[in-house]
Chains A and B, each alone.
Chain A
Amino acid sequence: MTTPADGPENSGSGGTVASEFASVAAAVDATANGPRLRLEDLRTGKVRFLDALELETIVWLPDGHLTQLLDPSADRWREGPG
């Protein structure tokens, strides 16, 4: 869902985390009823907001679980219904 808050002009202070593989801008967004982290994949423009409980969950995610999500076939480049 695209909303006015998706625009970078509504983002608070933040920065870019980049490597040769990916480039993501991160900022604390203040346009909703409470603060949330705004992440933007700078290569595609895709935006995701994460709230505090989601961020805490990510902090506590075991490395192995995170590695599973990094498998290109896990979600983004998954083919077929499987």
Chain B
Amino acid sequence: MNPARATQELKHFRADTHIHTCLSPCGDLEMGPRDIAAQSRHAGLDMIAVCDHNSAENAGAVMRAGDRLGLAVLPGLEICSREEVHVVALFETLESAHQMQEFVYARLPGENQRAVWGEQIVANEKNEVLGENPRLLIGATTLNLYEIVAQVHACGGLCIASHVDRPAYSLIGNLGFIPPDLDIDGIEVSFRVPLSRARESVNGIAGYPCVTASDAHFLKDIGRAWYGLQMASPCFAELRMALKGEDGRKIIAN
């Protein structure tokens, strides 16, 4: 308990911490950094996280676009484990996210076939195209879940299991239940499950901090699911406290 932190005034913020950009092959080309920030603001969000498949190359551009609009943007990746479980990794700084990205890239086999999987556009905060990522971002890494969680933590990040209510690419779908020894920081349910009913809808998540997110691949989907956060300001350190339920910070089911 930190008395200085505890006495800070706490407010409510809206967060959608799993949004793709045009870098994800399955992401719409309209998902440029500038427009993601603008649409997030339009949707009433205070904080978002950019989580492309196995990459954080567009995170910096969305962060800069968000700065101009007073939108907090966390850099992140949605990493695919060798079990084909998707986990969202969130970081405080772009440097940490890039450190994780390099670790992932070294363990991500294959090259993208744009005709099959789609384009992987790297863009700047003005939505200008800078290039194309050649890696097979849609693929699975050779990392098991424990290795991913350990490395995310080593980079100072938070690890949240993506859309656990889904039958595939999900911790519960692929592994049947959450391994009790997995040091995950939280779990995410998809927009299909109201957060207020998540614990009764999805078996085996009662002991974990639970959030929801849009997992938007199209602009119109940004904010289709969001969660409330009671905390001092929309930032990574406060989100970490809210996930842990520290000093009055908490997740609020909308």
Q: Do A and B bind each other?
A: no
